[in-house]
Amino acid sequence: MSFNLQRSHNIDPDSTSRVLDHNHPYMPGLDGIRAVAVLAVIAYHFNWAIAAGGLLGVGVFFVLSGYLISDLLFEERRRNGRIHLGRFWRRRIRRLLPAMLIMLIVVALFLDFTDTGGSTAFSGDIWSSLTYTSNWYFIYHHVSYFESFGPPSPFGHLWSLAVEEQFYLIWPLILVTTLHLLSRPTRGKMILLILVGAAASFASMVLLYEPGTDPSRVYYGTDTRAFGLLIGAALALICPSRKLAEPSSRKGAARLDSLGIIGFCVVMYMLVRTGKYDESLYLGGMFIFSLASALIIAAAASPFSAVGRLLGWRPLRWLGVRSYGIYLWHYPVIVLTSPSDPNMSPNLVLQLFQLSATIVLAVLSYKYVEEPIRNGKWKPFKMSVWKKVEPMKKGKRAAILFSVGTIILICVACTQSEGSNQASSETSEMKPNVTSSENLKPSESPPLNQSTSTPGNHVAQDSKSSLKTQNSSASNAEITAIGDSVLVGVTPYLEKVLPGIVIDGKVGRQMSEAKAVVEQLKSKKKLGKNVIIELGTNGTFSSNKLEDVLDAIGRERQIFLVNTRLPKDWQDAVNKTLAKAVEGRSNVTLVDWYTFSAQKSDWFTKDGVHLQPDGAKAYASYLAESIRKSGR
């Protein structure tokens, strides 16, 4: 069997369900599925309670993309005996990159000129978006999808496009290699191998997921999310669009409708009832959701099914056709137009404006960028420069246009990087004793209205960007405090009410880092008889993680766990875990800052977490009083 990669005939490997050729009829129901999925994602980003599981909408896109791409690849091989990889990848670039490039340029320029949300913080996001590595960039830099402080990145949603593009790059290579190695590549063998791959991906999610902690690693990972795309690929062999369109398949439409209705009920239930911290999602729920999505796709792809006709309702179809642009633009619009105060409740009028602006931008993108470029008819202007470019071949024209756009984006990113370095330098000069973690943007910001360094303090900066305060008696300190940026902000106030305290605070610190800090302080004989743990600002943690920290401190020391108050949805989970840890441990005391700070909004800065001077004084006094009352 030949695998010579020559040009195929009119095969357009596009993830849309538009008409490709006479062997690939238009499937309007699939555009309806897209509309439902993108609306679920938007509702989730609007923080609507009815769409608590709206983040799963991305999973629908994964299954759908896996199905359509694989269906096209299998059909091309069936018709021509080969898969043209070069043409496939060129069409994917032409389909996806231009619209994203325009969005990146527009948003980056907007940030650069307005400095909305701190434009200097997002250059890394832009570079990773351009290379379709956003998901791994976020994983490497510990950027949480669920838990963040400060202005969120307007490019944070592009992680899913990175996962898909990585699949588009790797999957055809795997497919061609597998078909070449198999002596008789039957459909049954291929389905089995694909499902084995999906099972391996799902197993990696289960193994890497740690209950009670931020699930961003398994949510972002290509390895842990590939099962959705592979389930879609298996569906392309089980229910190829070509077979579904044959008149003989009309008899099976009722069965497909039954399966589609079951899948739709499961999908809608999970979109409404599950939440991002629901452990079941990462221990099988997402896999079940992908299977349910596959059932809907199978029914919607059939031109004879009632499910396909319902999902092919014209308004849904209209939105679905433009869903790529809607997805690209919705998150930047939400981020850049939402109030910075996290305590403000969702404003439906503002959200209606955001949704309208998103759709308008998506319509413009579809009409003037996506469709013209995909069809080779993009001529946005006819200036003298364009007239010189126009006689060139289409490939050269496209290369010039992409090069110009990329150069603009690179210039913006470089400007932002330079601004970031300059800002960092200025901050260092102004506050030489206060440092932030490497990835300050996605975690919380340190207090800007107060200094943690005073002339009487001995503050040292270590290589890990933590703030450590000690005096001459630090080696024999009675009290040691370990915490995050909240602790950093109250340091000078704690030193006044608890002289001799040793403080190890670090911006962005998680509970998972505390055990290593405890062991380091122990080795240097700087862990006091009384140990304060102030962590939980940056996200949830499991009871096991907390138990490890408590065990590392030891029962011979008195431990004070400070709970938290913050306008984030992991607040209650953190406080519940801390309260539970006190049970059965006579040497552990809960310092209930959450209750003590109730109705004291004037104590907090705009982020609702860090403290104004009055709040910092109250925090330090309350903590000192709690230690004294314990009699320890």
Among 515, 428, 517, smallest CA distance to 466 is for 517
Per the CB < 8 A criterion, the answer to whether 113 and 412 are in contact is: no
Give the model's confidence band at 508: pLDDT under 50 very low, under 70 low, under 90 confident, else very high: confident
d(CA 102, CA 100): 5
CA distances (Å), 207 to each of 143, 216, 227, 282, in order? 20, 14, 14, 10
Tell me the average pLDDT across 455-463: 32
Among 91, 130, 141, smallest CA distance to 107 is for 130
What pLDDT score does 584 carry? 85
Give the model's confidence band at 10: pLDDT under 50 very low, under 70 low, under 90 confident, else very high: very low
Q: Cα torsion for 582, 586, 588, 589, to the nearest 10°?
A: 80
What pLDDT score does 382 carry? 42
What pLDDT score does 211 carry? 81
Candidates 17, 128, 607, 626; catalytic one: 607
What pLDDT score does 362 carry? 97
> What mean pLDDT, rounded, does the chain reach?
82
Residue 505's H or E segment, with its range, is strand 502-506
Tell me the average pLDDT across 203-221: 91
Per the CB < 8 A criterion, the answer to whether 297 and 76 are in contact is: no
What pLDDT score does 431 carry? 35
With H, G, I as helix, E, B as strand and everything else as coil, classify residue 504.
Answer: strand
Phi, psi at 137, each rounded to 5°: -60, -45
What pLDDT score does 347 carry? 84
Residue 345's identity, in one-letter code, is S
What are the sequence ranges of the domains in the chain?
28-336+343-414, 432-630
Residue in this structure with the two tokens 């005939």, named with its chain if needed: 9
**Residue 610 is among the residues annotated as catalytic for this protein:** yes
CATH topology of domain 432-630: Rossmann fold (3.40.50)
Residue 447 is given by DSSP the state P
Candidates 70, 485, 597, 626; catalytic one: 485
What pLDDT score does 414 carry? 52
What pLDDT score does 391 carry? 53
H helices of 279-322, in order, are: 279-280, 286-301, 306-311, 314-321
Quick: pLDDT tens for 514-528. Answer: 999 999 999 998 999
Tell me the average pLDDT across 445-458: 34
**Residue 462 is among the residues annotated as catalytic for this protein:** no
* Residues comprising the chain, all counted: 632
CA distances (Å), 4 to each of 12, 13, 169, 171, 176, in order? 18, 18, 18, 18, 10
Q: Quote the tokens at residue 615.
A: 């709040």
d(CA 524, CA 617): 30
Asked whether the CA dihedral 570, 576, 577, 578 is positive or negative, the reply is: positive
Quick check: 599 pLDDT over 70? yes
Residue 602 is given by DSSP the state G
Residue 498's H or E segment, with its range, is none
Q: 0.85 cut: is pTM over it?
A: no
In the chain, helix, strand, coil percent, each to 5? 65, 5, 30
Quick: pLDDT tens for 296-345. Answer: 999 999 999 999 999 999 999 999 999 999 999 999 999 999 887 655 66
User: How far is residue 503 CA from its own chain's centroid?
Assistant: 33
**Residue 607 is among the residues annotated as catalytic for this protein:** yes
Tell me the average pLDDT across 614-625: 93
Candidates 153, 330, 610, 626; catalytic one: 610
Give the model's confidence band at 115: pLDDT under 50 very low, under 70 low, under 90 confident, else very high: low
Tell me the average pLDDT across 216-222: 95
Per the CB < 8 A criterion, the answer to whether 560 and 591 are in contact is: yes
Quick: pLDDT tens for 235-274. Answer: 999 999 999 988 888 888 999 999 999 999 999 999 999 9
Q: Which residues pair with 482 in a beta bridge?
A: 504, 533
Quick check: 430 pLDDT over 80? no
pLDDT-above-90 percentage for the chain: 58
Among 157, 154, 158, 161, smallest CA distance to 112 is for 154
Give the model's confidence band at 149: pLDDT under 50 very low, under 70 low, under 90 confident, else very high: low
